Homo-oligomer: A and B are copies of this chain.
Amino acid sequence: MQEITSLINEELRGGKVNKKETAMRLRPLINKDTIALAQTDPVVGDIEYNFNKAKIYIEWANELKLAAVVFPELFLMGYPVYDIIDRYPSIVQKNIEYLEKLAKLSGKTKVLIGFCEFNRFYIGKRYFNSVAVLADKKIEKIIRKTLLPVYSEFNDARYFQTPEFNPKDRIVQIGSSRAGIVICEENWADKDFFDKPVYSFDPVEEIVKSQNPDFIINCSSSPTRAKKEQLLNNMLSFVSKKHSTPIVYVNQVGAIDNTSFSGSSRCYNNAGEIIARAKSFEEQFFMLQIPAKLPSKGGINQIFSLPSGLEQSLNEQKAFSLDYGPDLERTYLTITISIKDYFAKNGFKRAAIGVSGGLDSSVCTVLLADALGAKNVYAISMPSKITSDESKNDAEELCKNLGVNFLEIPIKEMVEISKNTFSDAFNKIENHWDGRYEKPLTMDNIQARSRAVILWGISNEFKSVIPIATSDKSELYMGYATINGDMSGGFAPIADVTKTKLFALARWLNSNRPQKDAIPRNIINKRPGAELAIDEKTGKPLLAEDALMPYEFLDEIIWRIENLHQTKEEMLKEWFLYEHKNQITNKQKSEWIDKFYARVQTALFKWSIMPPSPIVDSRSINKTEYNQPITSKLKFY
């Protein structure tokens, strides 16, 4: 069946495809109760692009004489839409026009597709988040989303009106079955599954109780996040079993800015067992049999595997752990699909990255090479006086291993001139201003800023190039990143990956990529340091953990705050993983936690000007997922 997806992709690239021949050959596998899930990747606001993609999927479904083809939530508009629909209502007008064009393509094969509908009623928000059922060249029915999430990256209630709900209106005849249609969040309101439900009303329950449908179809655009696959699986399995009603779930795939979608569309039978699942992180024309009660597995129904590790960890993580295994392939796929989609959808194809021989820039370079192709990556080594030969060599070896373009541009002269310019100026300023720092970070930062000047210069000189920001999540929490320096770029691949996880990811990459050990072991084994300043005690470049605190301890603070919302007092009462291996005093522990809070307070501004970066963890400091005033006195404890 994968054949059809390949042919669709060929046609999307402009190739000519003869559908008839393939369809004829495949039709014996298909009966009147076969449907297709169009697991697709839209572009927000590019109605023509989304229309053309939908058209090809619909043509295939027609050709195969399927009962229906089902698209994700808001597919025709693209999701997440944000405020552009309020500012440019003409885009919504256009999605309506193209919906009507799609309707004309429909025949016996029904089409379920998400779109943005004008609210023609007197009261409320301007739009509805709707799914249209298209059949016989007409819009047969429109279904409007009633549960409108506003939390994390969700802003539905910002644009969409809550409609009246009538379970009768949710029933659509598909093949020989009566399907009950829900839209994304409407499946997430089960009062037995959730300890503290957000919604007082459960659309699935209402539909099942009053209409007894043969199965539920859920049209979703549900972003991927750490632990979300586990939650989704448990929830859909629970709900289908509880109501003894199969659920077909179709999900968007791909990425928009910070938000990514894994696809992984699937079907559960009425015993809560998964009987079909599409691929993850890929578009797919995925066919399955309309689930009768307790259907057997097999036949046309396929179960593609999830990213490795996920199947084995279908429960929430209750304690901080350095075993990132269950999350590494998903992390890798989330970041690489985000890079691919961000570059391609915005008309870029190449990346310029500064390589220091450190962990952050090394992992970023591997991810870029995999997402864009090695030849589309230019790795620039920009040594200063402080840079060690070892670091230079490690960086060069990494690039040789990967086959990415490599160039050394020493920054000594740029730094020297800035230094000279500054020293005279600062002395003059001191005549009028007090408060000159005794140990300023000025010289450290000039190095990082000179490097960014070079990377942005390359993007100004050559077409289609994005410079890369290499900051990681642990260091962003600590504000250990230079404004207009290493945190500057057009995209930040690892801004939601903590340092201890990054070590694990580096090892995983070395073992799991076709090319083994691309990252020199030295890079993984040495202790991280920015090589911007010399440690007065050792005479060597200052190590990050000496400037901050042990990463293992730091990452556990982050984990406890993001996941358990613990206060300092609560954290002091518990054993950290780090404490099992290292003897530390309570005073030391308390100082590190205080340092954490103090540094976070000054890091907030930096978070607000970060470039787009893939949200990876359940909770993040990504501004798409977590809103935060800069001006605040967080007396966190």
Residues of chain A at the chain B interface (Cβ within 8 Å): 43-49, 78, 80-84, 86-91, 94, 122-125, 150-151, 155, 157-158, 196-200, 255-257, 341-342, 345-346, 350, 375, 378, 380, 405, 407, 409, 411, 413-414, 417-418, 420-422, 425-426, 428-429, 432-433, 435-437, 440-442, 445-446, 449-450, 452-454, 456-458, 460-464, 483-484, 488, 490, 561-562, 565, 567, 605, 608-612, 619, 623, 626-637
A-B contact pairs, 8 of them (CB 8 A): A81-B629, A82-B629, A88-B636, A90-B565, A122-B196, A256-B629, A436-B462, A446-B457
CA distance A457 to B155 in the complex (A): 39
List B contacts of A49 (CB < 8 A): 633
Contacts A84-B632, A414-B417, A425-B409 hold; do A445 and B456 have CB atoms under 8 A apart? yes
Whether B635 pairs with A123 at a CB distance below 8 angstroms is: no
Set B82, B257, B432: member contacting A378, Cβ < 8 A: B432
Set B91, B151, B417, B437: member contacting A463, Cβ < 8 A: B437
Q: A45-B629, A88-B636 known; 11 other A-B pairs, CB under 8 Å?
A: A43-B632, A83-B626, A90-B565, A150-B155, A346-B631, A405-B433, A407-B428, A417-B417, A442-B460, A446-B457, A608-B611
Whether A44 pairs with B631 at a CB distance below 8 angstroms is: yes
Interface centre among A196, A484, A567 (most CB of B within 10 A): A484
List B contacts of A428 (CB < 8 A): 407
CA distance A131 to B631 in the complex (A): 23
Whether B631 pairs with A342 at a CB distance below 8 angstroms is: yes
List B contacts of A426 (CB < 8 A): 458, 461-462
Tell me the smallest distance from the CB of A206 to a CB of chain B, in Å.
16
Whether B44 pairs with A422 at a CB distance below 8 angstroms is: no
Whether A635 pairs with B47 at a CB distance below 8 angstroms is: yes
Whether A449 pairs with B456 at a CB distance below 8 angstroms is: yes
List B contacts of A48 (CB < 8 A): 635
Whether B454 pairs with A422 at a CB distance below 8 angstroms is: yes
Set B88, B122, B123: member contacting A565, Cβ < 8 A: B88
Whether A454 pairs with B633 at a CB distance below 8 angstroms is: no
List B contacts of A441 (CB < 8 A): 460
List B contacts of A461 (CB < 8 A): 422, 426, 429, 436-437, 440, 442
Tell me the smallest distance from the CB of A600 to a CB of chain B, in Å.
11
Whether A123 pairs with B199 at a CB distance below 8 angstroms is: yes
List B contacts of A411 (CB < 8 A): 421
Set B124, B462, B490, B608: member contacting A612, Cβ < 8 A: B608
Whether B257 pairs with A629 at a CB distance below 8 angstroms is: yes
Whether A449 pairs with B445 at a CB distance below 8 angstroms is: no
- Closest A-B pairs by Cβ, 8 of them: A46-B633, A435-B463, A442-B460, A82-B627, A44-B632, A484-B484, A45-B632, A90-B567
List B contacts of A629 (CB < 8 A): 44-45, 80-82, 84, 256-257
Whether B425 pairs with A407 at a CB distance below 8 angstroms is: yes
Whether A46 pairs with B632 at a CB distance below 8 angstroms is: yes
CA distance A346 to B422 in the complex (A): 26
List B contacts of A380 (CB < 8 A): 425
Whether A378 pairs with B429 at a CB distance below 8 angstroms is: yes
Whether A464 pairs with B449 at a CB distance below 8 angstroms is: no
Tell me the smallest distance from the CB of A547 to a CB of chain B, in Å.
16
Set B78, B89, B407, B456: member contacting A429, Cβ < 8 A: B407
Which residue from chain B places its CB closest to the CB of A162 in the assembled complex? Answer: B200
Whether B405 pairs with A413 at a CB distance below 8 angstroms is: no
Contacts A409-B421, A417-B417, A629-B257 hold; do A45 and B635 have CB atoms under 8 A apart? yes
Contacts A405-B433, A425-B409, A433-B405 hold; do A631 and B90 have CB atoms under 8 A apart? no
Which residue from chain B places its CB closest to the CB of A380 in the assembled complex? Answer: B425
Which residue from chain B places its CB closest to the CB of A125 in the assembled complex? Answer: B198
CA distance A104 to B368 in the complex (A): 60
Which residue from chain B places its CB closest to the CB of A562 in the assembled complex? Answer: B87
List B contacts of A90 (CB < 8 A): 565, 567, 636-637
List B contacts of A46 (CB < 8 A): 632-633, 635
List B contacts of A82 (CB < 8 A): 627-629
List B contacts of A157 (CB < 8 A): 150, 157
Set B45, B125, B460: member contacting A445, Cβ < 8 A: B460
CA distance A502 to B84 in the complex (A): 26
Whether B200 pairs with A123 at a CB distance below 8 angstroms is: yes
